[in-house]
Amino acid sequence: MSSVHALALRWRGEGRRVVAATLVETVGSAPLDPGAVMLVDDQGRIEGSVTGGCVEAALVDEAQGILAGAPPRVATYGISDSQAADVGLMCGGTVRVFVAELRDVEPLASDRETVDASLDDLRFAQREGTPLYDAIAAAYEEMARRAQPGRINAIVVLSDGQDTDSSISLDSLVAKIGASSAEGGDDAPVRIFPIAYGEGADTGALQRIAEATGGQWFDASDAAKIDLVFASVINNF
């Protein structure tokens, strides 16, 4: 475990609210590699770096906004040639940083019998293809039923976005979950975070599903980056 991650755990253990800014992508020159993390707590303390000083001041503003209630987001910054020279680079580039508050993770399930029964249903299901939209609709209905105010009510979907065996269309699914999100208000929203996995993934479908619930989709079409993508997704929780 890195020193920054250990510090984040310590701060959370002390009861502080902590925002993590994680470098997820670089284009052109950048001082640090993807995976670099900067922490900002609710007392204004800052640890770590993602660009060696090029965009950290802007990220502090992003962190303060999230502590004030703004949703997690991927922030994109251009590093000018003059900024790059200040940190020892030949030229500038572009960086994308995922900024989100760190939260405690609750146990995924405590009802073992219900989980076992659900697994049995999947094991013996007779389906000819991939009912992606049906599965998301069912998961959304279940999560909406269990959603609690003040909790993270989220669904993570790892998929290539291809559906070959659903009883509903993509348009119907988006309309259904979008209407439910609007009716549910802000007390206990359920958000969907799709991960587009594999070359040729239908990112358009997954993006529509995410946006309908106020969630965010993540691009893992390059399988070699899946670890970075999962790190970005986990920062939502």
Is there a single domain that holds both residue 176 and residue 145? yes
Among 102, 128, 144, the domain boundary falls at 102
Is there a single domain that holds both residue 119 and residue 223? yes
Q: Are 201 and 194 within 8 A, CB to CB? A: no
Is there a single domain that holds both residue 138 and residue 190? yes
170 is a domain residue: yes
pLDDT score of 110: 55
Among 76, 102, 128, the domain boundary falls at 102
Is there a single domain that holds both residue 122 and residue 176? yes
Per-residue H/E/C for 208-222:
HHHHHCCCCCEEECC
In the predicted model, what is the mean pLDDT of residues 25-40? 84
165 is a domain residue: yes
CA atoms within 13 A on the CB side of 173: 24
Is there a single domain that holds both residue 141 and residue 216? yes
Is there a single domain that holds both residue 92 and residue 125? no
**CA angle at 230 for the pair 204 and 208, rounded to the nearest 5°:** 20
Question: Packing angle between helix 203-212 and helix 170-184, nearest 10 degrees?
Answer: 20
φ, ψ (nearest 5 deg) of residue 179: -65, -40
Distance, in Å, from the CA atom of 234 to the CA atom of 216, rounded to the nearest integer, reads 12
Is there a single domain that holds both residue 18 and residue 94? yes
Is there a single domain that holds both residue 69 and residue 131? no
Residues 67-84 as b/e (b if ≥16 CB within 10 A, e otherwise) read eeeeebeeeebebeeebb
Is there a single domain that holds both residue 58 and residue 116? no
For residue 163, with 0-12 CB atoms within 10 Å meaning exposed, 13-18 middle and 19 or more buried, which class applies? buried
The tens digit of pLDDT for each residue in 151-193 reads: 788 999 999 999 988 889 999 999 999 886 655 555 668 899 9
179 is a domain residue: yes
pLDDT score of 118: 60
167 is a domain residue: yes
Range of the domain at 120: 112-234
67 is a domain residue: yes
In the predicted model, what is the mean pLDDT of residues 8-27? 89
pLDDT score of 90: 46
Is there a single domain that holds both residue 169 and residue 227? yes
pLDDT score of 130: 84
Among 42, 67, 102, the domain boundary falls at 102
How many domains does the chain divide into? 2
222 is a domain residue: yes
136 is a domain residue: yes
Report the chain's mean pLDDT, rounded to a whole number: 81
107 is a domain residue: no
In the predicted model, what is the mean pLDDT of residues 97-126? 65
Is there a single domain that holds both residue 136 and residue 34? no
- Residue 129 banded pLDDT, cuts 50, 70, 90: confident
Is there a single domain that holds both residue 127 and residue 211? yes
